[in-house]
Amino acid sequence: MKVAVPKESLAGERRVAVVPDVVPKLTGAGLEVAVEAGAGTAAGFPDTDYRAAGVGLVADQKKLLAAADVVFKVQPPTPPEVQLLKKGTILLSFLQPAFNGDSIKALAKQGVTAFSVDLVPRISRAQSMDALSSQASLAGYKAVLMAASRLGKFFPMLMTAAGTIAPARVLVLGAGVAGLQAIATARRLGAIVEAYDVRPAVKEEVQSLGAKFVELPLEAQEGQGGYASAQSEEFLKKQRELLAERVGAADVVITTAAVPGRKAPVLVTADMVKRMRAGSVIVDLAAETGGNCELTKPGEVIEVGGVWIDGTRNVPSTVAYHASQLYSRNLVNLLLHLVKDGKIELDFEDEITKGACVTHGGEIVSERAREAVGAKA
């Protein structure tokens, strides 16, 4: 069986779906690996590294995909890219069905068996395949560095001959995987950190990282599987009122709040931004799904009344080397879950296989994906 790795086409995407490191795991399972020439260059993996790992490099993407039984990607293929995949190809990629309905429909029509890494169930057995977590963790780390480099202040407290400098105050909204990594990074840089999440279960994790958990007198809607559920507009309005003071006191606000498959909730309004000190920085990691700050412009860094709002898209791609390394391991683990004796064997009774499979046999088979693209069963 041949595994093919095309070069990513989305503007600004630097990651690659297979790094040379993981190739022995694939070849050891009886799979052959071919990579499009130059696919890893932007992530720091030149063609020579792939060659040294025994990988075949193919210059022509069409030829590469036409010969593939399995395709590894980072970004969902566009509908024209889907047409390059032959019927029966197994695709492993981020597909985010809620935001890529046209690609999902094209994959079903093309007869591709597509697995969306973002739909892998968050169960312990699947932790090694959890690309949402591996990428979110890098984004949380990088968000703090982005904020620190824009902020005209030190993060740590400094005692100098010229006097003492107070530490920066960082507020992290949403303490999931990205938020917890942001807290840890900001603490390592010496900031005073506070964090808030609708899930009270994260309080202890926040505290164990040396941050203060902001408690609000609010009853949040319980979610499932460790996730938050969407809160009512009334809840979010109250939440914003209660958070306004904490936001106003912060030098840096990192927002990471998300509800799977939905638009991100607005936690920081234009009015709250107005109350922040000039020079403060908001890094909105939810920019891609609409933003946690009302003023965020996805893909842009803007300044409003002296406050910087960073809506950089695809932050994991800015840490492309390690993002690709972790992502490749996630994909390889997912593929090996589907392979027996060098052949794909799909067991739809299995929670991971069933949960992550989006299209198969010409149909959209995932209920979540069908709902997201508005297709009928």
Ligand X SMILES: NC(=O)c1ccc[n+]([C@@H]2O[C@H](COP(=O)([O-])OP(=O)(O)OC[C@H]3O[C@@H](n4cnc5c(N)ncnc54)[C@H](O)[C@@H]3O)[C@@H](O)[C@H]2O)c1
Is residue 227 part of the annotated active site? The answer reads: yes
Q: Does 333 bind ligand X (CB under 6 A)?
A: no
Closest by CA position to 207, among listed 188, 194, 218? 194
Taking the complex as a whole, how short is the minimal distance between the CB of residue 113 and ligand X, in angstroms?
Answer: 24
Closest by CA position to 296, among listed 305, 58, 286? 286
Q: Does 119 bind ligand X (CB under 6 A)?
A: no
Task: Kindly tell me which of 60 and 271 has the beta carbon lying closer to ligand X.
Answer: 271
Q: Does 258 bind ligand X (CB under 6 A)?
A: yes
Task: Kindly tell me which of 233 and 303 has the beta carbon lying closer to ligand X.
Answer: 233
CB 56, CB 27: distance < 8 Å: no
Residues 157 to 216 in contact with ligand X, rule: CB under 6 A = 173-179, 196-199
Task: Quickly count: other Cβ atoms within 10 Å of residue 375's Cβ.
Answer: 15
CB 246, CB 274: distance < 8 Å: no
Q: Could you tell me whether strands 212-213 and 252-255 are parallel, antiparallel, or unpaired per DSSP bridges? A: unpaired
Task: Kindly tell me which of 252 and 257 has the beta carbon lying closer to ligand X.
Answer: 257
The Cα–Cα gap between 267 and 247 comes to: 10
Q: Which of 127, 207, 208, 221 binds ligand X (CB under 6 A)?
A: 127
Q: Does 134 bind ligand X (CB under 6 A)?
A: no
Closest by CA position to 209, among listed 197, 226, 198, 222? 197
Taking the complex as a whole, how short is the minimal distance between the CB of residue 301 and ligand X, in angstroms?
Answer: 22
Residues 267 to 286 in contact with ligand X, rule: CB under 6 A = 267
Q: Does 122 bind ligand X (CB under 6 A)?
A: yes
Of the candidates 122, 188, 275, 368, the residue annotated as catalytic is 122
Taking the complex as a whole, how short is the minimal distance between the CB of residue 267 and ligand X, in angstroms?
Answer: 6
> CB under 6 A: which stretch of 42-50, 84-92, 116-124, 269-277 binds ligand X?
116-124
Q: Does 124 bind ligand X (CB under 6 A)?
A: yes
Is residue 127 part of the annotated active site? The answer reads: yes
Q: Does 139 bind ligand X (CB under 6 A)?
A: no
Structural tokens at position 260: 């799977």
The Cα–Cα gap between 194 and 199 comes to: 15
Strand runs labelled E in the chain: 2-5, 32-36, 56-58, 70-72, 90-93, 113-116, 158-160, 163-165, 169-173, 192-196, 212-213, 252-255, 281-284, 301-304, 307-310, 339-340, 343-344, 357-360, 363-364
Is residue 50 part of the annotated active site? The answer reads: no
Is residue 133 part of the annotated active site? The answer reads: yes
The Cα–Cα gap between 357 and 58 comes to: 28
Of the candidates 50, 110, 130, 239, the residue annotated as catalytic is 130
CB 310, CB 150: distance < 8 Å: yes
> CB under 6 A: which stretch of 65-73, 93-101, 258-266, 346-354 binds ligand X?
258-266
Q: Does 65 bind ligand X (CB under 6 A)?
A: no
Q: Does 265 bind ligand X (CB under 6 A)?
A: yes
Q: Does 226 bind ligand X (CB under 6 A)?
A: yes
The Cα–Cα gap between 54 and 293 comes to: 47
Find the angle CA(354)-CA(358)-CA(362) to the nearest 5 degrees: 110
Q: Which of 227, 249, 279, 344 binds ligand X (CB under 6 A)?
A: 227
Q: How far apart are the first and last CA of the chain?
A: 31
Is residue 130 part of the annotated active site? The answer reads: yes
The Cα–Cα gap between 335 and 221 comes to: 35
**Residue showing the smallest CB distance to ligand X in the complex:** 176
Task: Quickly count: other Cβ atoms within 10 Å of residue 37's Cβ.
Answer: 15
Q: Does 328 bind ligand X (CB under 6 A)?
A: no
Task: Quickly count: other Cβ atoms within 10 Å of residue 117's Cβ.
Answer: 24
Q: Does 316 bind ligand X (CB under 6 A)?
A: no
Task: Kindly tell me which of 50 and 196 has the beta carbon lying closer to ligand X.
Answer: 196
Positions annotated as catalytic residues are: 122, 127, 130, 133, 227
Binding residues for ligand X, per CB under 6 A? 122-124, 127, 130, 132-133, 136, 173-179, 196-199, 226-228, 231, 256-260, 265, 267
